[in-house]
Structure 1
Amino acid sequence: MIGRRVFLALSLAMLAGACHGTGGSGMPGDSDDHTPFGAIAESEAVRFTGTEPFWGGEVADGRLTYTTPDNPQGTIVPVSRFAGRGGLSFSGELAGQSLTLAVTPGDCSDGMSDRTYPFVATLRLGEDLRQGCAWTERQPRTEGGRSPVG
């Protein structure tokens, strides 16, 4: 199992890297570019969803609402936001376990529909690592390439 500090270090390294090019150190991205990820404004709500097990929710105003089929109303968790060079992360604690949600740009499929999402969501809840997708109102999910859906 990966420890919390190792996971956070890997998450931050992933968020620090850009998706293209190679810097002088052999790391991806431009090593001289220190601009934080700006594709999602701090004022925007980020929605996310995942399967196996089903999970989802929303991050807005410094709070993450985590939902499951057993808890559709969700549990609200205060989180801190980090904007790296290649995405965002939100960190907090849920039921005594560390929680980190990383959101990075990239076409994403939930694997169960023909929806396409503009962001990949990776959730670490305690020792459990989950994969999913994310979207915002400004950058919505689409239904089979057609008009945006809610």
Structure 2
Amino acid sequence: MKSIAFTLPLAFLAACSAGPNEAEGAEKFSGIEYDETVSLSGTEPFWNVKISGNRAVFSSPENLEGTSFAVERFAGLNGVSFSGRMDGASFDAMVTPGDCSDGMSDRTYPYTVTITLGAEQLNGCGHTDRQPFSGPDQP
């Protein structure tokens, strides 16, 4: 029994380090340039985030002026994320390519969005100033 207890953790370690890292040499996501303004939005509840550079503004029907806060950008292999703190709560937005519908308009957005704000998860769509949504300007 002792040898199984000792061997099992070694097997897990070996699995973690086995073979070359496939992500090495892979290019980071470059679909959204640093200087693009990123607009994210969702429904139920309604919310909107606009990100320019290292600043984000989160707004909602309860806070029309919005709350501005600093974010850091991270380009992964299939998207970009923005992380920061808003009013003491952690904020993480993951933006990945893919057609997205807000379910309320006839618009199609080029990005899907998942935001974690504290313990709350928000789902929505996104676009940039260079990669707009398609469909009506005023839904």
**TM-score normalised by the chain length of structure 2:** 0.80
Partners of 1:109 and 1:84 in 2: CA distance: 23
Partners of 1:122 and 1:91 in 2: CA distance: 12
| Alpha-carbon distance change, 127 to 141 in structure 1, aligned in 2, over 3 angstroms | same
Task: Give the AA of the match of 1:132.
Answer: G
- Which consecutive unaligned segments of at least 5 residues does structure 1 have? 1-24
Query: Is residue 36 from structure 1 mapped to residue 28 from structure 2 by the alignment?
Result: yes
Query: How far did residue 33 of structure 1 move?
Result: 4.6
Partners of 1:89 and 1:104 in 2: CA distance: 9
> For each residue in 1:70-119, what CA deviation from the matched residue of structure 2 results, as whole angstroms up to 9, or x when unmatched?
11111001000000010000000111110001100000000111100000
Task: Give the AA of the match of 1:109.
Answer: S
The alignment partner of 1:79 has SS state of strand
Partners of 1:128 and 1:85 in 2: CA distance: 25
In structure 1, what is the equivalent of residue 12 of structure 2? none
In structure 1, what is the equivalent of residue 99 of structure 2? 107
Give the one of 45, 67, 78 matched to 2:70: 78
Which stretches of structure 1, 4 residues or more, deviate above 3 A after TM superposition?
Answer: 30-33
Query: Is residue 131 from structure 1 mapped to residue 127 from structure 2 by the alignment?
Result: no
Partners of 1:119 and 1:102 in 2: CA distance: 10
In structure 2, what is the equivalent of residue 53 of structure 1? 45
After superposition, the CA RMSD in angstroms is: 1.7
Query: How far did residue 138 of structure 1 move?
Result: 1.1
Task: Give the AA of the match of 1:68.
Answer: S
Partners of 1:108 and 1:33 in 2: CA distance: 30
Task: Give the AA of the match of 2:50.
Answer: E
**Higher Cα Rg: structure 1 or 2?**
2
Give the one of 80, 85, 88 matched to 1:93: 85
